[in-house]
Structure 1
Amino acid sequence: MTARALVLAVSLACLSACTATAPRATLPPDRIASAEAEQVAREAALREQSAWSLQGRIAVANQGKGGSGRIDWRQEGARYQVALSAPVTRQSWRLSGDGDGARLEGIEGGPREGSDAAQLLREATGWEIPVAALAEWVRGARAPGLGPARVAYGVDGRLAHLEQGGWAIDYVWNAMSADPVLPARLTARRGEAQVRLIIDRWGDGVIE
């Protein structure tokens, strides 16, 4: 399997399904402090739940190239396994690793390894996916160690927009999920790079 084949042969229907972005309605100034306090409490609760998983759909684009497919992400602390598949072609790759390094499988030329997961993906596929930060952002939390973040809250008091590390992330929330409430979809952008996620299911993280 070539990286180009995976990028170009994925489902266009899924890419279209991921085009919606979160509204940018913001809270009145007198409610911002309470929303920030609730967000800090959410992030503390999420840190206590370091094992999690999601299944859903992903669409990526960078410099005019992109693709979409199914995603299965499993996280246990610093350890992760991220699998992406193109349902039509049955092609897939898997990224796994921890804080010390990453391994990418399913690409032309055999597995590749490196110290930085985002760089490994960029070199192999051309995709710009901030793996470490996205593990925090995808659950609606600011990424520790990435510098200050600018946030905006929606009229429901939940995080609607986050800017950190040069990326801008918009959220749509799942009002029916368990506490702490988790996002239903998000869109992350930096320059020409874009990552869209629709989460179909959240669960506990179990890495085999």
Structure 2
Amino acid sequence: MKVSGFLLAGLAALSMAGCATRSATVDSPVLRDPAALAAAQAGQATRAAWLASQADWSFAGRVAVNANGKGGSGRIDWQQTGTDYLVALSAPVTRQSWRLDGDLVTRAARLEGLEGGPREGADADRLLRDATGWDIPVASMVHWVRGVADPAVSIDGVEYDIEGRLRTLTQQGWRVDYLDWFPAEGARPIMPRRMEARRQGASVKVAIDQWQLATQ
């Protein structure tokens, strides 16, 4: 049974002004200078290595999802513990909430908060697609939301902005635009504040209010 109407109706009740507009970052000049580009690539490699050492992390923010013209928005809280993730979505206006938890190794997942009770599946992407109609590459989002490429799939394209920050990442048909960044803080490198992943007929926008990593 499809339950997308129930889920989308709840999420759509919360406005998503923070994710609705695009930043000028995507339209800013792309870094072309060979020396500066090499420095940006080296910096990104160092940053990716540091993030790979942080197995446990979390963020809180807002998310907006669109699938073939239908979508919704709401609060998102993502908790990552090693290869296990717990993603909570909520629409405070309707007091509805949903939880997706799974394991990146087995790819199995469980989705709670649906009419008719929880649903489980051997693949998180397919579970979400069947239950909600949403097209979300969960395993890749674990990496993309932190501003790094998914190491399990090939990279089709990378662009940096003139400040040397990751600007656009293209993988498995998805274009990921990084619209804003939190500055580095202590040991923690710059982290995405706003990003958008999209491909034909689907988009996922995330606006992050706060990051929490073991080493700040």
CA RMSD of aligned residues (A): 1.6
**Whole-angstrom distance in 2 between the partners of 1:11 and 1:40:** 38
Q: Deviations over 1:9-29 (max 9, x none)?
A: 335563233122342321132
Tell me by how many angstroms 1:176 deviates. Answer: 5.4
**Whole-angstrom distance in 2 between the partners of 1:155 and 1:165:** 25
**Whole-angstrom distance in 1 between the partners of 2:200 and 2:42:** 31
Tell me by how many angstroms 1:50 deviates. Answer: 1.4
Aligned to 1:17: 18
**Whole-angstrom distance in 2 between the partners of 1:177 and 1:201:** 12
Aligned to 2:85: 80
Alignment of structure 1 residues 170-189 onto 2, 5 Å: 170-171=177-178, 172-175=180-183, 177-178=185-186, 179-189=188-198
TM-score w.r.t. structure 1 length?
A: 0.92
The counterpart of 1:142, out of the listed 145, 149, 156, is 149
How many pairs align? 204
Structure 1 position 49 matched with structure 2 position 50? no
- Show structure 1 runs of 5+ residues with no match: none
Aligned residue identity for 1:64:
G
Aligned to 1:4: 5
The counterpart of 1:67, out of the listed 67, 72, 80, is 72
Single out whichever of 129-138 and 24-33 deviates more from structure 2: 24-33
**Whole-angstrom distance in 1 between the partners of 2:136 and 2:86:** 14
**Whole-angstrom distance in 2 between the partners of 1:107 and 1:11:** 16
Aligned residue identity for 1:5:
F
TM-score w.r.t. structure 2 length?
A: 0.89
Structure 1 position 39 matched with structure 2 position 44? yes
Tell me by how many angstroms 1:177 deviates. Answer: 4.4
Tell me by how many angstroms 1:123 deviates. Answer: 0.4
Alignment of structure 1 residues 92-103 onto 2, 5 Å: 92-98=97-103, 99-100=105-106, 101-103=108-110
Retained in 1: the 8 A contact 2:13–2:91? no
- Show structure 2 runs of 5+ residues with no match: none
Retained in 1: the 8 A contact 2:183–2:189? no
SS in 2 for 1:9: helix
**Whole-angstrom distance in 1 between the partners of 2:66 and 2:89:** 15
Give the 3 Å change call, closer, same or farther, for CA 11–126 of structure 1 in structure 2: closer
Structure 1 position 156 matched with structure 2 position 160? no
SS in 2 for 1:107: coil
SS in 2 for 1:10: helix
The counterpart of 2:210, out of the listed 182, 201, 206, is 201
The counterpart of 1:28, out of the listed 20, 29, 32, is 32
